[in-house]
Chain A
Amino acid sequence: MQKSLHIDPNKCTGCLQCEMACSYENYGAFNISKSRIKVFNFESAGRKVPYTCTQCAEAWCMHACPVDAIRIDAATGAKVVFEGTCVGCKVCTIACPFGTINYVADSGKVQKCDLCGGQPACAEACPTGAITYVESDWTGLGKMRQWAEKTDTQPRA
Chain B
Amino acid sequence: MAWAKKILRVNLSKGTCASEPLNMEWAQQYLGQRGLATKYLVAETDPKVDPLSPDNKLIMTTGPLTGTMASTGGRYSVVTKGPLTGAIACSNSGGYFGAELKMAGWDMIIFEGKSPKPVYLWLENDKAELRDASHLWGTTTWHTEETIKAAHQDPQIRIASIGRAGENGVLYACVVNDLHRAAGRSGVGAVMGSKNLKAVAVRGTVGVGNVRDFKAFLQATTAAKKVLADNAVTGQGLPKFGTQVLMNVINEVGALPTRNANDVQFEGARKISAEAMHEKRPTDGKANLITNAACFGCTIACGRVSQVDKTHWSVVNNPKYWGATGGLEYENAWSLGAANGVDDLEALTVANMICNEDGMDPITFGATVGAVMEMYQMGVLKKEQIGIESPFGSAQALLEMAHMTAEGRGFGKELALGSARLTKKYGHPELSMTVKGQEFPAYDPRGIQGMGLTYATSNRGACHLRSYTVASEILGVPVKTDPLATDGKPDLVKAFQDATAAFDSSGTCIFTTFAWTLGDLAPQLDAACEGGWTLERLAEVGERIWNMERQYNLAAGLTAKDDDLPKRLKTEPAKTGPAKGMVSGIDKMIPEYYKVRGWTTEGVPTKDTMKRLGL
A residues at B contact (CB < 8 Å): 13-17, 20-21, 23-24, 27-34, 43-48, 125, 127-128
Judge whether B229 and A44 touch: CB under 8 Å.
Answer: no
Q: What is the CA–CA distance of A128 and B294 in the complex, to the nearest angstrom?
A: 11
Which one of A21, A27, A31, A32 has the highest number of Cβ atoms from chain B below 10 Å of its Cβ? A32
A contact residues around B299 at 8 Å (CB): 15, 17, 127
Q: What is the CA–CA distance of A20 and B103 in the complex, to the nearest angstrom?
A: 11
Judge whether B305 and A46 touch: CB under 8 Å.
Answer: yes
A-contact 0/1 string along B282-304, CB 8 Å cutoff: 00000000111111111101010
A contact residues around B305 at 8 Å (CB): 46
Judge whether B67 and A46 touch: CB under 8 Å.
Answer: no
Task: Kindly state whether residue B476 has any CB partner on chain A within 8 Å.
Answer: no
Q: Which one of A16, A23, A127 contacts B207 once the chains associate, using CB atoms below 8 Å?
A: A23
Judge whether A125 and B69 touch: CB under 8 Å.
Answer: yes
Minimum Cβ distance to chain A for residue B155 (Å): 9
A contact residues around B298 at 8 Å (CB): 13, 15
B contact residues around A21 at 8 Å (CB): 69
Q: Return the chain B residue nearest A28 by Cβ.
A: B209
Judge whether A31 and B206 touch: CB under 8 Å.
Answer: yes
Q: Taking A17-B69, A21-B69, A29-B207 as contacts, is the C-beta distance between A46 and B290 under 8 angstroms?
A: yes
Judge whether B103 and A31 touch: CB under 8 Å.
Answer: yes
Judge whether B156 and A33 touch: CB under 8 Å.
Answer: yes
Minimum Cβ distance to chain A for residue B220 (Å): 15
Minimum Cβ distance to chain A for residue B158 (Å): 11
Q: What is the CA–CA distance of A43 and B296 in the complex, to the nearest angstrom?
A: 15
A-contact 0/1 string along B60-102, CB 8 Å cutoff: 0000000111010000000000000000000000001001000
Q: Which one of A14, A24, A30 contacts B103 once the chains associate, using CB atoms below 8 Å?
A: A30
Q: What is the CA–CA distance of A76 and B480 in the complex, to the nearest angstrom?
A: 52
A-contact 0/1 string along B572-587, CB 8 Å cutoff: 0000000000000000
Task: Kindly state whether residue B208 has any CB partner on chain A within 8 Å.
Answer: yes
Q: Return the chain A residue nearest B180 by Cβ.
A: A43
Judge whether A15 and B294 touch: CB under 8 Å.
Answer: yes
Judge whether B324 and A16 touch: CB under 8 Å.
Answer: no
Q: Taking A15-B297, A20-B69, A127-B225 as contacts, is the C-beta distance between A33 and B103 under 8 angstroms?
A: yes
Q: Return the chain B residue nearest A44 by Cβ.
A: B323
Task: Kindly state whether residue B205 has any CB partner on chain A within 8 Å.
Answer: yes
B contact residues around A20 at 8 Å (CB): 68-69, 297
Q: Taking A17-B299, A43-B179 as contacts, is the C-beta distance between A127 and B208 under 8 angstroms?
A: no
Q: Taking A43-B179, A44-B324 as contacts, is the C-beta distance between A30 and B294 under 8 angstroms?
A: no
B contact residues around A125 at 8 Å (CB): 69
B contact residues around A46 at 8 Å (CB): 290-291, 293, 305-307, 323-325
Q: Return the chain B residue nearest A48 by Cβ.
A: B293
> In B253-312, which residues have CB < 8 Å from any A CB?
290-299, 301, 303, 305-307
Judge whether B207 and A13 touch: CB under 8 Å.
Answer: no
Q: A29-B209, A30-B69 are in contact. List 10 more A-B contacts (CB 8 A).
A: A13-B301, A15-B295, A16-B99, A16-B296, A17-B299, A20-B69, A30-B207, A31-B206, A31-B207, A33-B207
**Top 8 A-B residue pairs of the complex, sorted by shortest distance between their CB atoms:** A31-B207, A46-B324, A29-B209, A44-B323, A29-B207, A15-B294, A13-B294, A13-B301
B contact residues around A45 at 8 Å (CB): 323-324
Q: Return the chain B residue nearest A45 by Cβ.
A: B324
Q: What is the CA–CA distance of A33 and B103 in the complex, to the nearest angstrom?
A: 9
Chain A to chain B contacts (Cβ below 8 Å), 5 pairs:
A14-B293, A15-B297, A30-B67, A30-B103, A34-B207
Q: Return the chain A residue nearest B100 by Cβ.
A: A32
B contact residues around A31 at 8 Å (CB): 103, 205-209
Q: Return the chain A residue nearest B209 by Cβ.
A: A29
Q: Return the chain A residue nearest B292 by Cβ.
A: A13
Minimum Cβ distance to chain A for residue B323 (Å): 3
Q: Return the chain B residue nearest A23 by Cβ.
A: B207
Minimum Cβ distance to chain A for residue B434 (Å): 35
Q: Return the chain B residue nearest A21 by Cβ.
A: B69
Q: What is the CA–CA distance of A25 and B324 in the complex, to the nearest angstrom?
A: 34
Q: What is the CA–CA distance of A47 and B293 in the complex, to the nearest angstrom?
A: 9
Minimum Cβ distance to chain A for residue B156 (Å): 7
B contact residues around A15 at 8 Å (CB): 294-299, 301
A contact residues around B179 at 8 Å (CB): 43
Minimum Cβ distance to chain A for residue B302 (Å): 10
Minimum Cβ distance to chain A for residue B101 (Å): 13
Q: What is the CA–CA distance of A123 and B545 in the complex, to the nearest angstrom?
A: 39
Q: What is the CA–CA distance of A30 and B74 in the complex, to the nearest angstrom?
A: 12
A contact residues around B208 at 8 Å (CB): 29-31
Task: Kindly state whether residue B204 has any CB partner on chain A within 8 Å.
Answer: yes
A contact residues around B211 at 8 Å (CB): 30
> In B203-220, which residues have CB < 8 Å from any A CB?
204-209, 211, 214
B contact residues around A16 at 8 Å (CB): 96, 99, 296-297
A contact residues around B292 at 8 Å (CB): 13
Q: Taking A20-B69, A27-B207, A31-B206 as contacts, is the C-beta distance between A14 and B323 under 8 angstroms?
A: no
